[in-house]
Amino acid sequence: MSDKKYFVLMENGKDTTQVFVSKQPRGAALKAATRGHTDIQLRERGTNRVHNFEGWTEVVAKPANGPAWLPDKIKKANVKKNGITRL
C-alpha cells in the first residue's frame, strides 16, 4: 500500500485543479507556499478533512553545504498550521 496522500488546494471553499502529493499535509502546504499561496486550505482526498495553513516565503542565504549551482540567495517556504476543519 502506498503511503503518499493527495491534497487538493481549495480557494473560497471550492476545489481548484491544483493537487499536491505528499506523505504529510505539511509537505503539501510547503509546496503550495513555494508557489506563492498564503492562505492555504488543503482537502485530503478520500476523507472529510481540510487542513488549514498560513504560508509565506523568505529570501535567505544558501546553506553552507549547498551545491555550487545554487544561487547565493534562495526562496525558502514556511507554513504554520491553523487547524483542521471537517466537511
pLDDT tens readout for residues 44-83:
999 999 999 999 999 999 999 999 999 999 999 999 999 9
Number of DSSP helices (H) and strands (E) in the chain, helices first: 1, 5
- What total number of domains does the chain contain? 1
- Show the domain range for 74: 5-86
Joined together, the cell numbers standing for residue 65 give 553545504
Residue-level pLDDT at 13: 87
- Which of these, 35, 55, 53, lies nearest to 43 by C-alpha position? 53
Rounded Cα–Cα distance for residues 18 and 11 (Å): 10
- Residues 6-26, mean pLDDT to the nearest whole number: 94
Taking 80 as the threshold, does the pLDDT of residue 40 lie above it? yes
pLDDT surpasses 70 at 1: no
Please state, in angstroms and rounded to a whole number, the distance separating the CA atoms of residues 58 and 74: 8
Do residues 10 and 16 touch, judged by C-beta distance below 8 A? yes
85 in helix, strand or coil?
A: strand
